[in-house]
Structure 1
Amino acid sequence: MTENIGVLGKQKSAQSRGAERVVNAPLPTVYGKFQAIGYLDHDRGDEQVALVYGDIGTDDVLTRLHSECLTGDAFGSQHCECGDQLDAAMRAVVAEGRGIVVYLRGHEGRGIGLLAKLRAMALQAEGLDTVEANLALGLPVDARDYGVAAEILHDLGVASVRLLSNNPRKREALLEHGIKVSEEVPLLIPPCENNITYLRTKRERLDHHLPHLDAVAHWS
């Protein structure tokens, strides 16, 4: 992999916008060899990473903005589809030959944090849906901010993306921050009995595009 990842060779700092590029290291994975580019978000104090594959160029870059999910990404939770989405996104980027997975720290539980997410999951086990559970805890339904993701993409020289997402808020956030979304690429994971209610709530109350759920209408 060459060093001209967008404007990587220039080592441009995004510190003035809140995100400072700190390190660029090779990261061999089971999917392929990525470059792990680490950023410090000075506004929020989070450490962020962009996994970059191939010479990405500037336009129509296949991109995933992946919200941190310890239970799904690391533990294989079937409460959500996050781990499978991360796996599918990394495979898609490698198959494309170029692309970016921005892994967004501080987004655990749609921005409420790990312990609050676990409390919300406990309430969901008692019958509340994911939106009702957050509200019952006095927390926002979705507290995520995608500004730092846009800053990272700007720093990498990206002007437009093909966005791997079912969430229209991600597209809107990138557009607001000057990143063109040339295409929305669905990232549909087959549901299971443990997450079908959660996914239906995401579709019905959070406006996620999940048309494949119609095929499993027989599950309660």
Structure 2
Amino acid sequence: MEDTGKISPYTTVHVTICEGHGVQVVGETVKEYLNSADDFTICDSKGLAIADTAETRDLEFWKTASRKLYAIKTQDLAKAKATRLGKNTKKNRIDQEDNEVLNGLLEVELEMKNSAAKLSEHLQEKTNELSVSVTQVHTNAAQVAQQCSVLNELKAKMSEMVLARNISACLRQTLACKMCTSIPATEVVVTACCGQVAGCGPCTQTYLKENDSCLFCKAPVFATKLIFLKGFSEVLDQFQ
């Protein structure tokens, strides 16, 4: 037996086996032949001890030509067993490490596939969001354009209303009676002397009862210098 636990035969012993002899007798015969104080155990080619059983005491067991048997010092069997266990342990450890590496690679591959799927899904979501955003932008642009058009129309109408209001204010100021400050209901009285609106008919008549001169330029004979404008009813109705 080598230090590595490998069987290394160095002596061949021929043993005569009789019916009923087993591995124990063979071991004793080898011990006597080698004149050794050590005990020997009969093993197979793998260093495994052969048990002393009824089968191994049968001559047919020993007649198998292809069987190789070894007598190993009993004290060396532990070394052979430790070597086999070490090899098996090393092999198991290597297999375990290989399995761990393989499992790690499979996990990395699975994680990469999951990451790729998530990235693809995320990109699809962002693409959909961008598409919706672009559609909203176009929709908003159309709405803004429509609102601008409406605002321009309102602006034009407001300008017209402001202009009409200014004109109305000017007309109200111009046509208002200078005595009661109201808009004449039926007719507008204008002075012929200075060409200004005096006011409404009733107020003018009341003024003439006490005055004979123009209330603006003080021209005499005011009653003969008045012009009564009629036909302004439609215009005057706008200021009632």
Same fold per superposition (TM over 0.5): no
- Return the structure number with greater helix share: 2
Q: When the two structures are superposed, what TM-score results if normalisation uses the length of structure 1?
A: 0.19
Higher relative contact order (CA 8 A, sep 6+): 1
Going by fraction, where is strand more abundant, 1 or 2?
A: 1
